[in-house]
Structure 1
Amino acid sequence: MTKTEAAEQVRAARIRSGLTWAEIATRVDKPLVWTTAALLGQHPVPGDTAATVGELLGLDEAVVEALQLQPTRTPDPAAAQDPTVYRFHEALAVYGPALKELIHEEFGDGIMSAINFKVDVARRADPDGDRVVVTFDGKFLDYRW
Structure 2
Amino acid sequence: MNKLDVTEAIFAIKKEKDLTWEAIAEAVGMTDVWVTSACLGMNSCTEEVADKLVSFLGLPDAAKAALMEYPTKTWDQAIPQDPLIYRLYEVVGVYGPTLKEVIQEKFGDGIMSAIDFSMSVEKEENPKGDRVVLTLNGKFLPYKSW
- Over the matched positions of the two proteins, sequence identity in percent amounts to 30
Which structure's CA Rg is the greater one? 2
Gaps of 5+ in 1: 79-91, 93-99, 101-110, 133-138, 141-145
- Map 1:11-30 onto structure 2 (within 5 A): 11-30=11-30
Counterpart position of 2:73: 73
Which amino acid is 2:60 matched to? D
Which amino acid is 1:36 matched to? T
| Secondary structure, aligned partner of 2:62 | helix
Q: Which has the higher contact order (CA 8 A, sep 6+)?
A: 1
- 1:77–1:24 distance in 2 versus 1, CA, 3 Å: closer
Q: Check conservation: 1:9, 1:63, Cα contact below 8 A.
A: no
Counterpart position of 1:31: 31
Superimposed CA distance per residue, residues 23-46 of structure 1 (whole angstroms, 9 cap, x where no aligned partner): 111121212111101011111111
How far residue 8 of structure 1 moved from its aligned partner, in angstroms, is 0.7
Which amino acid is 1:66 matched to? A
| Secondary structure, aligned partner of 1:61 | coil
How far residue 74 of structure 1 moved from its aligned partner, in angstroms, is 3.4
How many residue pairs align between the two structures?
101
- 1:75–1:61 distance in 2 versus 1, CA, 3 Å: same
- 1:76–1:40 distance in 2 versus 1, CA, 3 Å: closer
Gaps of 5+ in 2: 114-128, 131-146
How far residue 130 of structure 1 moved from its aligned partner, in angstroms, is 9.4
Which amino acid is 1:58 matched to? G
- 1:77–1:62 distance in 2 versus 1, CA, 3 Å: same
- 1:39–1:77 distance in 2 versus 1, CA, 3 Å: closer
Task: Provide runs of 4+ in structure 1 moved above 2 Å.
Answer: 73-78, 111-114, 117-126, 129-132
| Secondary structure, aligned partner of 2:8 | helix
TM-score by length of 1: 0.54
Counterpart position of 2:51: 51
